[in-house]
Structure 1
Amino acid sequence: MGGRKKRVVIDDHSNKQKAMTSIWRPVSTNASSCEESLLTAATVESKDGDRVQEVGCSTSGTISNEYDMKVAAESIDENTESAASSSQLQGDVENKVLGDSSLSTEKHSISVQVGASLFRFIKGKGGFTQKKIEEETKVKIIFPSSKEDEFITIEGISIDSVTSASEKIQAIIDEAVRSRSLDYSHLVSLPLAIHPELVSKLINFQHTILGNDDSSIDENLDTDSNEAEDINDNKEVDQLSKKKADVAVELKVDDDRKSVKVNPTSIPLVSYAPKASKAPTSSDLGIEKSIFIKPKTFHLTVLMLKLWNKDRVKTATEVLQSISSEVMEALDNRPVSIRLKGLECMKGSLAKARVLYAPVEEIGSEGRLLRASQVIIDAYVKAGLVLESDAKQGLKLHATLMNARHRKRTKQKRNDVSFDARNIFKQYGSEDWGEYLIREAHLSKRFSFDENGYYHCCASIPFPENMQVE
C-alpha cells in the first residue's frame, strides 16, 4: 500500500513572504502486523504556487482510525514539535513490538533419562514416531550425539506441551520394555564355565553334532546348495530337450479364426530319473553353530533382567551386593554342588525343538540352592527391577545347551526357527556331564565378555567353598 498525497494550499494574507511548512499526519490502515509501516506524504504549497515540497513520514499500521488528518501552517518551531511527536510515537510502537517478540520466543525444556537402547523406539521407523510426537505437541525432541549420553531433551513453547510430549515418550518406553523387541540386557547367573573339564565336554558335544566339517557349516550354505541344485536341474532339462528334439506335434490352422490347434495325444510323456537320496546334514536339520551356547559362557540362569540405563544397572549392582549375607544363610554357610545329567527339550517337540538343556540336580537334594536363588529373585522384585510377567514365573534351574533364538538371521530363515533334536537325544539323552561346585553368583551383562570369554561381571557375591568348622 503506497502513501497518499494531499495538496494543501496555504493563504498568505500578508503577501509579504512565502512560508513552507512540513506536515505530519497519522493514517489509518488495516495492516495485520505492527511491524508494517506506511509512508504518508503531504505537499505544502504557497498560494501562488511558487514553492512546493513533499514531506514523508513513517507511522505504525496499528494506529487507530480515530485519528483525523490535521493540517496546520505554523512556525518552524511548531513543525519541529510535530516531528518530535511523530518520532516518540514510532518509538512507543517499536518498544511494543520488541516486547511482544520476547514473549513469543520463550521456550521450556526438560531432560529425560531414557537409555541408548530405547532411542530407536522413540524415533520409530524412518523417524515417524518422533515426528508424530513433535507435530502433536509442538515440541522438538533432541537426541544426544554421544553414545554414552542417555538423556534426551524436549523443547517446547509451553510447559504443557513439554509435559505432554514426555508422557507420550514414557508410554512408548513402557510398551517397549514389556515387548520382546527389547531384549534382556543382563542376567543373574551361576557360572559353570569356570570348570575347564566341563568346557571341554561342551566343545566335544558341538563338534560331534556338527560333524568334523563344522567349520564349513554356515548359514549361507543353504543358499549355495539350493543354487547348485537349480543349476543341475537346468542342465538335465537341456539334455533331455536335445534328445527329444524330434517330438512330433500335429498342428491344425483354422484360417477363419486364425488359431492353432495342438493335439496333445501325439506328444510322448517324458520321465525323469529319480535323484539319488542323501543323508540329511546338520544344516538340513536346522542345526548350526550359532544356536549352541558358547562353552565359555556356560551357566545356570537365576533371573533375566532388562536394565536399559546406567541408573538401573547401578541399582541392580547394589541389590546383589546388599543380600550377600542372606544368600549365605540360605545356603547354611555350606558349599553347594550340582550334577548335570541327560537332556531335555523345553519348548516344542524333539522334531521341532527350540531350547535344549541339561537338567540340574542339587547334590544332597536339600534345596539350598533353590532357596538362595529365591532370595536373589525376591530382592530384585522388591527393587522394581523385574518385569511383572517374569516375577510370576516359577524358578527352574537349568543349563541351556542349544537355543534357536540365538540363530543368526538370514533371508531364507527366521532367527527363531526350530531344529530337529531327535538324533541328538539318541546320542546324549542320558549323558552324564559331571558334578560341579557353585562358587559365586554374577550380575552378568549380555553381549559383553571378559578376557576369559565369560559375560562381563557388573557385580558378584561369593558362595561358600569350604565347610565351616565350629
Structure 2
Amino acid sequence: MLTCRTLFRLDRVLWYTSRCVKSTPESFRIMSFRGKAEKSSKNHKTVNLVWRPMSTQSSSIVAEAGNEVQEAGQCSMSSTQAVVNDTTHKHSVSLEVGASLMKFIRGKEGTTQMKLEEETGVKIILPSSRNEDHIIIEGGSVDCVTKASERISTIVDEVVRSPSLDYSHFISLPLAIHPELVEKLVNFQNSVLGNHSMAVDEQDDKANRPTTTGVAVELKANSETNQVNVDVKSIPVVSYKPKAKGTSSSTLLEMGIEKSIFIKPNTFHLTVLMLKLWNKDRVNAARDVLKESISPCVMDALDNRPIFIRLKGLDCMRGPLAKARVLYVPVEEIGDEGRLLRACQVITDAFVKAGLVLEKDAKQSLKLHATVMNARHRKRKDKRKNKMETFDAREIHKQFGNEDWGEYLIPEAHLSQRFVFDQSGYYRCCASIPFPGEHRA
C-alpha cells in the first residue's frame, strides 16, 4: 500500500511539472526553496527557507519535510507556489530587471518600493550588490505577485523610454587606434587651452638671451671695507622680444571653454548606433547580433575591401558657432562609393530586428561624424549652478576650420560600453567584428 501511495504522489508531481513547463515565460527566473522541518511549541511544522536558483524551464517544486514529501506547482505564469506548513502558502518570483534600473524601483528614499508593497500586498527584495540584475517578489497569493510584477514591468518600460536612463552601450568605429591621430587631437586641445604657451615662452627666452664669452660687469673688491664696487656703466643693456599674448584662462571661461568638454583623445571614434542595454540578457543578445548574425552581411556591404576615411575641417552640429553644443570633424569616405554607410545600415537594421533599439533611435538617419568637443560633458564644480549648455567656438573654427586631420583605415566595429575603459583608454569592448584589410601602424 505504501508503495502505491508513493507512486501516486510521484505521478502527480510529474503531471504538475509537465503542465508548468509549457506555461513558464522565459523572462522570469523562478526561485525555489528546500526546507527542513522542525517541531515548534505549538506542535506544527515550520520550515527554514534557503533560497536557490532553479531552471526557468521547470517551475515544479518538491519540498522535503522530515520523511514526508510535499507537492508544489506553479499556479500562474509569473509565480511559484510552495507549501510552507499546513495552512500557509508562499508565492514568489524572481525578475531580471537590470542593475541600472534598481534605483527607479526603489525610488527616492525607498518611496516607490514602499508604495508598490503597500498597494499590492507583496514584499520586494532588492539585491544587496550593485552588480546583480534580479529582484524577488514574495506574496501570499498568485494574484498579488502577478500584479506587482506587472507594475514593475510598467515602471521599467517608462524609464527605458525616458531620458532618465542614459545609454549604456553603442556601436563604435574606433579611430583612437591611430597614434598619429591621437597626437593631433592632443595638440589641438593644448592649442585651444593655451597649454603650449609656457613652453613657447621658454623657447623664446632662450632664443633671445645674449651670448657672452666673458664677464659683462667688472667687480672691484675693497680690502679695507670688505665691499664690492660695481662699474654700472659697464653693464650691457639687453632687450627681449615681447611674449606672445595668448587667450587667458578667464577669457576661456567666459567663452564656456574648459578641458572637460573636450573628447578624450584615447576614446576618439565614430558612432553608428546608441543602445540601452540595461541587463545582462540584452548585452548578451547584442553580442550575438554583432558577432554571429551580421559579420558576413557587413563584409558584403563593404565589397570585401578595406574602407578608408578622410577627416577634414571642423563644424558645429546644430546652431551658430557662438552657441555651439557639439563641435565635430566631418567624415568623408575615400572613393565616395557609399560602402561605409551601407555597412552601418546593415548593423542598425540587425539590432532593430533583434528588438535592441528604441523606436525613436531607429527612425533617426545616420550622420557619421567625429566629435571633438561636447558641452554635455562639462563638469560642474558647483552643483547649485546650472552648467553652461553651450560654448563659443568662433575663434576655434577660425583656426581649425580647414584643418586636414588625415586619412585613416577603419579596421573594425565595436560593441562599446560607455563610462568603462580598457587599459588603452578606449571604451571597454564587449564584442567586435573585423572589417576587410589590415591595420596600418
TM-fit CA distance, 1:358: 0.6
TM-fit CA distance, 1:104: 6.2
Query: In the alignment, is residue 319 of structure 1 matched against residue 289 of structure 2?
Result: yes
**Could you list the per-position Cα deviations for residues 321-369 of structure 1 after superposition, in whole angstroms to 9, with x for gaps in the alignment?**
1211110000000011001111111133211111111110000000000
**In the alignment, which residue of structure 2 is the partner of 1:329?**
300
Q: Equivalents in 2 of 1:202, 1:457: separation in Å? A: 22
Give the total of aligned pairs.
Answer: 305
Report the 3-state secondary structure (helix = DSSP H, G, I; strand = E; otherwise coil) of the residue aligned with 1:149: coil
Cα pair 1:406 1:416 within 8 Å, conserved: no
Q: Equivalents in 2 of 1:143, 1:324: separation in Å? A: 39
Instruction: From the superposition, tell whether residues 416 and 116 of structure 1 become closer, same or farther in structure 2 (CA, over 3 Å).
Output: farther
**In the alignment, which residue of structure 1 is the partner of 2:421?**
449
Query: In the alignment, is residue 418 of structure 1 matched against residue 390 of structure 2?
Result: yes
**In the alignment, which residue of structure 2 is the partner of 1:130?**
113
Q: Equivalents in 1 of 2:269, 2:363: separation in Å? A: 22
Q: Equivalents in 2 of 1:362, 1:103: separation in Å? A: 73
2:152 to 169, 173, 198: 169
Q: Equivalents in 2 of 1:103, 1:350: separation in Å? A: 75
**In the alignment, which residue of structure 2 is the partner of 1:11?**
none
* Aligned AA (2:137): I
* Aligned AA (1:313): V
Query: In the alignment, is residue 347 of structure 1 matched against residue 318 of structure 2?
Result: yes
Cα pair 2:256 2:388 within 8 Å, conserved: no
**In the alignment, which residue of structure 1 is the partner of 2:131?**
148
Query: In the alignment, is residue 288 of structure 1 matched against residue 271 of structure 2?
Result: no
* Aligned AA (1:154): I
Q: Equivalents in 2 of 1:377, 1:388: separation in Å? A: 12
Cα pair 1:137 1:165 within 8 Å, conserved: yes
Query: In the alignment, is residue 186 of structure 1 matched against residue 197 of structure 2?
Result: no
Please say which of residues 140-149 and 451-460 is displaced more in the overlay.
140-149
Q: Equivalents in 1 of 2:195, 2:249: separation in Å? A: 16
**In the alignment, which residue of structure 1 is the partner of 2:435?**
463
* Aligned AA (1:459): A
Q: Equivalents in 2 of 1:211, 1:279: separation in Å? A: 8
Please say which of residues 409-418 and 152-161 is displaced more in the overlay.
409-418
Structure 1 spans left out of the alignment, 5+ residues: 1-100, 216-277
Q: How does 1:42-441 map to 2 (within 5 A)?
A: 105-212=88-195, 280-321=250-291, 322-409=293-380, 410-411=382-383, 413-415=385-387, 417-441=389-413
Report the 3-state secondary structure (helix = DSSP H, G, I; strand = E; otherwise coil) of the residue aligned with 1:420: coil
Please say which of residues 407-416 and 286-295 is displaced more in the overlay.
407-416
Report the 3-state secondary structure (helix = DSSP H, G, I; strand = E; otherwise coil) of the residue aligned with 1:282: helix
TM-fit CA distance, 1:280: 4.9
**Could you list the per-position Cα deviations for residues 45-87 of structure 1 after superposition, in whole angstroms to 9, with x for gaps in the alignment?**
xxxxxxxxxxxxxxxxxxxxxxxxxxxxxxxxxxxxxxxxxxx
Cα pair 1:354 1:416 within 8 Å, conserved: no
Q: Equivalents in 2 of 1:461, 1:312: separation in Å? A: 18
Instruction: From the superposition, tell whether residues 412 and 155 of structure 1 become closer, same or farther in structure 2 (CA, over 3 Å).
Output: closer
Q: Equivalents in 2 of 1:193, 1:113: separation in Å? A: 35
Q: Equivalents in 1 of 2:340, 2:195: separation in Å? A: 38
Cα RMSD of the aligned pairs, angstroms, is 2.0
TM-fit CA distance, 1:430: 1.1
**Could you list the per-position Cα deviations for residues 109-137 of structure 1 after superposition, in whole angstroms to 9, with x for gaps in the alignment?**
10000111000111111111111111111
Instruction: From the superposition, tell whether residues 301 and 116 of structure 1 become closer, same or farther in structure 2 (CA, over 3 Å).
Output: same
Cα pair 2:411 2:438 within 8 Å, conserved: no
Q: Equivalents in 2 of 1:375, 1:413: separation in Å? A: 43
TM-fit CA distance, 1:213: 7.9
TM-fit CA distance, 1:103: 6.9
Report the 3-state secondary structure (helix = DSSP H, G, I; strand = E; otherwise coil) of the residue aligned with 2:399: helix
Cα pair 1:345 1:355 within 8 Å, conserved: yes
TM-fit CA distance, 1:107: 2.4
Structure with greater Cα Rg: 1
**Could you list the per-position Cα deviations for residues 213-257 of structure 1 after superposition, in whole angstroms to 9, with x for gaps in the alignment?**
899xxxxxxxxxxxxxxxxxxxxxxxxxxxxxxxxxxxxxxxxxx
Q: Equivalents in 2 of 1:337, 1:347: separation in Å? A: 26
TM-score (normalised: structure 1): 0.62
Structure 2 spans left out of the alignment, 5+ residues: 1-83, 199-247
TM-fit CA distance, 1:180: 1.1
Q: Equivalents in 2 of 1:415, 1:112: separation in Å? A: 38
Report percent identity of matched pairs: 70
Instruction: From the superposition, tell whether residues 186 and 112 of structure 1 become closer, same or farther in structure 2 (CA, over 3 Å).
Output: same
